[in-house]
Structure 1
Amino acid sequence: MMLQACLNGARAADTPGLPLTPDAVAGDARASRAAGAACLHIHPRDAMGRESLAPPDVAAHLSAVRTAVPGMAVGISTGDWILPHAGRLEDMHGWTVLPDYVSVNLEEADAPEVLALMGRLGIGIELGLATGADLDRLLSLPATLWHGAVRIMIEMNAGTLDRAMPVARRILDRLRHEAPDLPILLHGFDATAWDFVAAARDLGCDTRIGLEDCLYLPDGRAAGNGALVAAAARMLGLDA
């Protein structure tokens, strides 16, 4: 079982404790590795704290993180909310420092183009699925676009647990039949985050935690990335 730390995400810049600068993200990366995280997922930001895929911002964040935690795989988001379609692809094509992998959301219109670009750049891919329709779309794409993915994420980012869990289970069951060789990461968001960490443990999936997904420990106390990762590691039995 693998635990990923998701350090900042699309949270508002004024979220308490949220790392925004390269140095702050690097510091939380260091704390997360010490707490039990095996890899990282980050959303680079610009000087104003806004999410960015611009080559200088991506390079600054990746370089800082790799100095802080050498050898630790680090991935970034390619979410289509970050920049308009054309500008996003241009920025990604212009990266001078490359992430180990990127997350690609299958619900986004240009997901096939992003997958193809990552293949040309030699960057690993983390496939994000939030619905059964996302899985249908993935399976309809040419195998060359996704069969070499790093992993598939089942992302339950909305809804209550009693609605989200059956959806996640159906996607998981189909994936284990349709893509049995790919690792599967399962995670929730806010109110469902810790339930899905426990579900990932019980279902034999990888999972993730961090301020992108959750601002509080299981007991309701606010916490930073290091403490969140440490709590997840204990829940998963990775601290033994």
Structure 2
Amino acid sequence: MLQACLNGNASGVGVPVTPAALAADAAVARDLGVRHLHLHPRDAAGAETLQQRPTDAAITACREAAPEMSVGIGTGAWIAPGPKGRIDDLAGWRVAPDYVSVNLNEPDAPEVMALMARRGIGVEAGIWSDGDALRFCALALPPQTRILIEMPDAEDVDPEIDRICARLSTAGRTEPVLLHGEGVSAWPCLRRAAQEGLSSRIGFEDCDHLPDGTAAVDNVSLISAAAEIFRAAGRPLA
């Protein structure tokens, strides 16, 4: 499947920030055949937040605009006010997302995952390295919604992807895998995912350029290009 990652901590023209702008991009992604969202709510000043009111507003707006779509939220520890405040914020949501992404390179990842399990919210386990994969496998976690293999803005990320996949296979982890990159690794990772039958994602959170290197003017252009790659490989978008 293909996931639309609409904003993250990106900024600039075309990056959706308000609930209305996120909802508009969600509806367009839905019209292109995508059924999964990943977004980062923002507060009134445009900063990333996990506080209840802006998070609830973003989720509600997207569900009203595209009720067929699953909505996921990023929970990075860098989002103010930090790890302790993050747990309090996550516990305070009144409108729950379908899933959240949790980075295994963050110390309190197990606590965040446990809280989500108690709330009945799915988890995308974010793995950035073989070390993250080792920690994930050692935790003996129950099955997750999916595993995110996440690559940095760097060239030649294939060896690290191979190491992570081998680690997960050896440990018998069978969750669906979503492979994605950032910056220069975004399109190579998406192409590899399409070729290998994995899920992937695209949007302004991961890159601001099209496969040919030209600047992307909006999420629509990014998602359309990714959908073309998936369809050419015979892979489903939903």
**Which category describes the TM-score, using the shorter chain as reference length?**
over 0.9
The partner residue of 2:41 within 30, 41, 44 is 44
What secondary structure, in the 3-state scheme, does the structure 1 residue paired with 2:133 have?
Answer: helix
Q: Which runs of 5+ in 1 are unaligned?
A: none
Bigger CA drift: 229-238 or 90-99?
Answer: 229-238
Contact 1:76 1:102 in 2 (8 A): yes
What secondary structure, in the 3-state scheme, does the structure 2 residue paired with 1:192 have?
Answer: helix
1:63-101 C-alpha deviation (Å, 9 max, x unpaired): 000000002101001100002211111011010000000
Alignment partner, residue 69 of structure 1: 66
Alignment partner, residue 150 of structure 1: 145
How far apart are 1:239 and its partner, in Å? Answer: 8.4
Runs of 4+ in 1 over 3 A off after TM superposition: none
Alignment partner, residue 114 of structure 2: 116
Distance in 1, Cα, partners of 2:166 & 2:28: 34
Bigger CA drift: 212-221 or 172-181?
Answer: 172-181
1:16 aligns with 2:7: no
How far apart are 1:140 and its partner, in Å? Answer: 1.3
Distance in 2, Cα, partners of 1:34 & 1:227: 13
User: What amino acid maps onto 2:99 in structure 1?
Assistant: Y
Alignment partner, residue 54 of structure 1: 51
**TM-score after normalising by structure 1:** 0.92
1:125 aligns with 2:119: no
1:176 aligns with 2:173: no
1:207 aligns with 2:200: yes
Give the count of matched residue pairs: 232
1:32-70 C-alpha deviation (Å, 9 max, x unpaired): 121232200000000110000000011000000000000
Structural RMSD (CA): 1.5
How far apart are 1:180 and its partner, in Å? Answer: 4.4
What secondary structure, in the 3-state scheme, does the structure 2 residue paired with 1:49 have?
Answer: coil
1:77-131 C-alpha deviation (Å, 9 max, x unpaired): 1100002211111011010000000000000011011011101111000000000
How far apart are 1:196 and its partner, in Å? Answer: 0.8
**TM-score after normalising by structure 2:** 0.93
Alignment partner, residue 87 of structure 1: 85
How far apart are 1:178 and its partner, in Å? Answer: 2.4
User: What amino acid maps onto 2:30 in structure 1?
Assistant: R
Q: Which runs of 5+ in 2 are unaligned?
A: none
